[in-house]
Chain A
Amino acid sequence: MREQTANRVFDTANFIVLLVCTLICLAPFLHIAAISFSSAGPILSGKVSLLPVDFNVEAYTKVFTDASMIRSLGFTVLLTGLFTVLCMLMTIAIGYPLSKKKLKGRKGIMFIVVITMFFSGGIIPEYILVRNLNLLDSIWALVLPGLINPFYLIILITFFNNIPESLEESAEIDGSSHFRTLLSIMLPLSLPVITTLSLFYAVGRWNGFTDTLMYINSPELYPLQLKLYQLIQNNMITDLLQMEGAQMATVVPESLKAASVIFATVPILIVYPWLQRYFVSGVMLGAVKG
């Protein structure tokens, strides 16, 4: 019986610790949400922690009526959609032939791909390339350089390889061309991995920031992350100046920044149930290879 008591103590402790971890994970989001719904007075006097004080939606009204914010959201949606579609087309286009063991030259092409997983030119040569191609400050600078991710490609090839070869062969005997086999047999069977990889590409593009900082100058081409970064920058500057005792008018009210953060996070959270499921299976697919 002593054993059972020990077990119960363990289970209770485990539950409590895990609950605390979960809450810690959630708390920052709650805080930001609380700030975004609170009014300036309580925020400045530090009264807002996890629940809104003096509830109002003024910050959100401002965010949603800010034309530049809406334009930025629209551009990010367009960018992410375009990027994801092109990425998948390219990844499938190279993945399908490379899954054919009989294809001559397959090993050589595989080698060309794998090298890029270990070694890259680095951001400066990449910047020079993008600039020389006249892509600077255009949507293509954010689309073209990342079209095929070699790691995702390998996941796709692994998946294609696991589809029974007899299916393809019987199609070939029936006189189906490779294009047809790909479209009518391979792709329908690969929907899970295609969804997974599309989500990988889409989330990467949605959250991507470094290249937007490097390549984009015009405000009308600011993706959400870049736009948000500039808003938040003001935060740091205020914090630093206040530390030195200087007075500075708050450039952007805290609640507005918080509302913007929520604004950029909500789209991710809306698709989160799918993200979670498919990403977990994607990690498994990747891990099988490793």
Chain B
Amino acid sequence: MNYRMISYYIGRILLIEAFLLIFPAVGSLVYGDGTLLSFAVTIGALTLTGMLAVRKKPEKASIYAKEGYVIVALTWILMSLFGALPFYISGHIPSFTDAFFETVSGFTTTGSTILRSVEALPKSLLFWRSFTHWIGGMGILVFVIAIMPKAESSSMHVMRAEVPGPTVGKLVSKLRASARILYGIYCVMTAIQIIMLFAGGMPLFDSIVNAFATAGTGGFGVLNNSIEGYNSVYSEMVIAVFMLLFGVNFNLYYMFLVRQGKQAIKSEELRWYIGIVAGSTLLIAVSLFTSTSNDVADSFRLAFFQVSSIITTTGFSTANFNTWPVISKFTLVFLMFIGACAGSTGGGIKVSRLVILVKSGLRDIKKAINPRSIETVKIDKRTVEEPVVKSVSVFFATYMLVIAVSVLAVSIDGFNLETTTTAVIACMSNIGPGMGAVGPYGNFADFSILSKLVLSFDMLAGRLELIPMLMLFSPYAWAKKYS
């Protein structure tokens, strides 16, 4: 394990976080909301730590897969620890565990909050909260690769550990160019959304913050009752559509840019994604229409927004779905597991993994009927390599196992089954609100410190797709005899 290179790499990222914190610091200067000092202290602490780490470039600059995972995991933990300082120092979140939970929830684009009243927070902190979504959505290390003067070829290990999905491909041959294209698309889409929200009459500050939360598929809002509070069908629809757009694999947008749109539309993952969204919307809309007082249009509007918000793992709400019929709630729980497309900013298991799971399951049934038959799992008419198929099954099993263990740990707090289970699922899949006490009108404030730490771990594990976080706590990774 190349410790010096790991600390060098992380040092650079902390310096970048210090730079990013300048934006909310300027905001606090503009609004004069008294948080400037806390931002200044945080920037100072980050700069000092970062400078210490990058003071000397290590002679041995080689990074392998293992270092890549460790860098990613440690980066996300350290970024959250430092990112929590402004909340804690300014006194708006008096407990450091709470502040840490809130920041992890931000960076991992979860959107679970421990705040009972969001509106009580000063604007600069609100901005920082949603800005973490935007940073975490596409990934801080991808950002680092994009701005680095010269990409080390080993950076691929880092990118692979951070970008979600069963396989990671580059858009163009140079890693740095690929990262820049991804961030370019991301920035342009965010800007368009800000403009569209602002044009619809939302205040500028709210437009920016909500667009950040949508782009990262995070879900931190400005109002206590999320998007419902704006009472604007236009804003709801803009946000719903953009949530769906940010849940699509970004590689497809690049294919549109280089005029391969036809191929992009044929993407099997995209078709499944649209199919799942359409089916779930219909199901929920019908159940809402038959068992509540909503008319057809309202049923569809509420259903579409909520499906879009949950499958992309954003977690905005326009209604208290806690009170919806059981069939609707269960549909939403299913969507929580599935999540968005690979290579998007969303969380969850990812649609492409679901497709592979379903197809390999069907194949195994066929094989049971005719044991001599040989068949491969194909996506987009291409065979998925057998190790990938296997890793998807293992991923799914591990995902469930981590959820089960976490539910057990959180259940010590004595909440009911619904609250406990959905709290863990919502954190693991980076959604935000769950059901019951952690529903759209609830929050995570009442959990114990242990539960909050377990849930923070789940959020990071879910965002980084298990392996980096699990590896960090595995003795194999650190034992000399295995390195």
Bound pair (A, B): no
Residues of A near any B CB (own CB < 8 A): none
Residues of B near any A CB (own CB < 8 A): none
